[in-house]
Amino acid sequence: MVGTAVTNTLRAHRFAKGEMTQQELADRVGLTRQTIIAIEQGRYAPSLEAAFRIARVFGVGVEAVFGYEEARGAKTAETSFRIRTRVKTTT
């Protein structure tokens, strides 16, 4: 299964928080345990709202828990902008 370009340190944060279980984290942020597992394993990228709720549980900013590997992403914002701009100017 292909993973997501979103990386995370979720497991490390859970263990630093007194070995919080996946279920405890799921309950605190309103997600299922299966979703927490998928996020930890890099198989699922959380919504922005969920990412903020997860970070808040640990008392840190979103970027302390989540990162983005641009090389694995499909397109950068700049590339998308250039493509959209080119399409608009040629039509």
The residues facing 8 across adjacent strands are: 66
The pLDDT of residue 72: 57
The count of residues in the chain is: 91
User: What CA dihedral angle connects 47, 27, 25 and 17, to 10 degrees?
Assistant: 140
pLDDT tens-place string over residues 60-78: 999 999 999 877 555 555 5
End-to-end CA distance of the chain: 38
Kindly calculate the radius of gyration of the chain based on its CA atoms and give it in whole angstroms: 16
**pLDDT beneath 70: ranges in the chain:** 1-2, 72-91
6-90, CATH topology level: 434 Repressor (Amino-terminal Domain) (1.10.260)
Whole-model pTM: value is: 0.74
The pLDDT of residue 85: 44
Domain locations in the chain? 6-90
Are 60 and 18 in contact by the 8 Å Cβ rule? The answer is no
The pLDDT of residue 13: 97
